[in-house]
Amino acid sequence: MSVFMRRAKLADLDRIMVLERETFEADAWPEDAMRRELESPHAYYLIAVDDEAEGDAVGLLGYAGLLAPKGGGQGDIQTIAVAPSIRGIGLGRGLMHALITEARRRHVAEIFLEVRADNPIARALYESLGFEEIGVRRRYYRGGIDAVHMRLTVPPAVARPAEAGSSGAAAAERTPLDERDAEARR
């Protein structure tokens, strides 16, 4: 499998809605709301697909959306979903990193989101990315589930020069194999 991310198009709406309904069931967005999101000049939606799948087998692995008017200073993670068959490999983190990068391009200083209080995996992901809890919205989701309101102060992009004699920025992140092996055993 080879995961490929690209900007979502209106032609992706049907596949997005299948995953939306599968993931969020009673809290799924209506199709017309998702269509408006995809068409909005203030929104940035990505999809992830298996780049090695062919024909009808090309399935949607995940999607995520950011609402952030350029120059507005603030943005909202509108939604993120990863297909159940692919959860746990880091796709959600990759989608979030891509949205944070886009927010930075739009000069967004803060990103907000809501997450179900009963979703510890998503909450842990957001906390690991630097989001902090700023409040609780009582009974926000159907079934009376609270939403945890979170905020990320968008960190500046970090650029480092490559080490002398190396090719590319990735060389600055190199760790000798024996050190990585020792770290993995800890």
Asked whether the predicted pLDDT for residue 171 surpasses 70, the reply is no
Query: 183 or 114: whose pLDDT is higher?
Result: 114
The dihedral sign for the CA sequence 110, 9, 98, 131 = positive
Contact 81, 63 (CB under 8 A): yes
**Mean pLDDT rounded to a whole number for the chain:** 86
Q: Does residue 179 have a pLDDT over 50?
A: no
What the block records as the tokens of 150 is 């979170």
Check residue 70 and give its pLDDT. Answer: 79
Instruction: Determine the residue type at 118.
Output: D
pLDDT (0 to 100) of residue 77: 98
The DSSP secondary structure of 54-97, one letter per residue, reads -GGG--EEEEEEEE--TTSSEEEEEEEEE-GGGTTSSHHHHHHH
Q: Single out the catalytic residue among 20, 45, 63, 114.
A: 114
Select the more confidently predicted residue: 151 or 174. Answer: 151
User: What region, left, alpha or beta, does residue 11 occupy, with left being phi > 0 and alpha being psi -120 to 50 degrees?
Assistant: alpha
Count other C-beta atoms under 10 Å from residue 162's C-beta: 13
Among 44, 45, 63, 126, the active-site one is 126
Structure tokens belonging to residue 181: 């092996």
11: Cα separation from own chain's centroid = 20
Predicted confidence at residue 169, as pLDDT, reads 44
pLDDT score for 26:
85
Write the CA distances from 56 to 15, 20, 52, 70, integer angstroms. 12, 19, 12, 36
Q: What average pLDDT does this structure show over 9-13?
A: 95
| Token representation of residue 118 | 């009963």
Q: Is the pLDDT of residue 168 over 80?
A: no
The answer to whether the CB of 68 falls within 8 A of the CB of 40 is: no
Binned at pLDDT 50, 70 and 90, residue 51 comes out as confident
Answer yes or no: 126 catalytic: yes
| Residue 114 appears among annotated catalytic residues | yes
How high is the pLDDT of residue 104? 93
pLDDT at 121 over 60: yes
**pLDDT (tens digit, 9 = 90+) per residue, 123-162?**
999 999 999 999 999 999 999 999 999 999 998 887 778 7
pLDDT in tens, 85-94: 899 999 999 9
Put simply, whether the predicted model's pTM sits higher than 0.85 gets the answer: no
